[in-house]
Amino acid sequence: MAKYGVYQGKIKKKSTYVSKNTRKQPRKRRITTYARGGKEWELKKLERETKKSVQKANERLRSLERRYNRGTWASTRLKNRLESSNLKVWKNGRIKLRKNMNKTQLQAVEKASRNFLLSDTSRKSGIKKRVISVKDGIRELLSDPSRELTDNDTEFFYSMLEDKDFNSLNKDNQYASTLWDCMDDAISFQDSEDAFLKRLENYIGIDMQDLDKREKATRLYQKYIL
């Protein structure tokens, strides 16, 4: 006899059957393998190496920005190299790799990043030492040992001393100091291209009828004045 308030009938067990149509199947992992030494394997290896170099270079660029403006010394050369029409991986002061870059492009980016990291002027301490030595050299070149030069002046003039167009015009005229002053004034007065060419013609005597010299002067304007 059943006790009062207690059910002694059979208790149905909950079914554990799962329909094949509703059963959740484990997701299959897609594994792509490449033969070691093959073209695909070499490309993937290059991609990994390039990403590592780019990551380190971007970290160094952030460090430089805390003390200097974007685009200074070694980072200027890096920017000029990576902004080229063939690469286009420079964005907002950083290196940003694109998808589906080919082997040649990846090699160029990896090499540029590595050279930047090896450069003394990719570090704040290296820039400080370079500025001191370059200032003395510039004053000697300008024959003006007492000339005041800011860090920006030093970098600007140093970049021009490495510029082929600047050196070519200076070699022809032997007026490094005057050419520097003309470019400095052109920046201050925001010269148009025609005004800059006229300034060089009037103050230095560069013959702007000479198409080769005119082309070099125009490139200087586009790189440093514009």
pLDDT in tens, 90-126: 998 899 999 889 999 999 999 999 999 998 888 888 8
Residue 20 has pLDDT above 90, yes or no: no
- The overall average pLDDT reported for the chain is 80
Q: Which two tokens stand for residue 47?
A: 């991609």
Q: Rounded CA gap, 138 and 3, in Å?
A: 109
Burial class (CB in 10 A: 0-12, 13-18, 19+), 185: middle
Closest CA to 50 of 86, 102, 88: 102
Higher-scoring residue by pLDDT: 88, 110: 110
**Given this model, what pLDDT does residue 35 score?**
59
> pLDDT category, 148, cuts 50, 70, 90?
confident
The residue extents of the domains of the chain are: 39-120, 125-225
The pTM score is 0.57
Q: CB neighbours (10 Å) of residue 45? A: 13
Q: Which whole number is the average pLDDT over 2-9?
A: 53
Q: CB neighbours (10 Å) of residue 1? A: 4
Q: Exposure pattern of 143-160 as b/e (b: 16+ CB <10 Å)?
A: eeeeeebebebbbbbbbb
Helix, strand or coil for residue 17?
A: coil
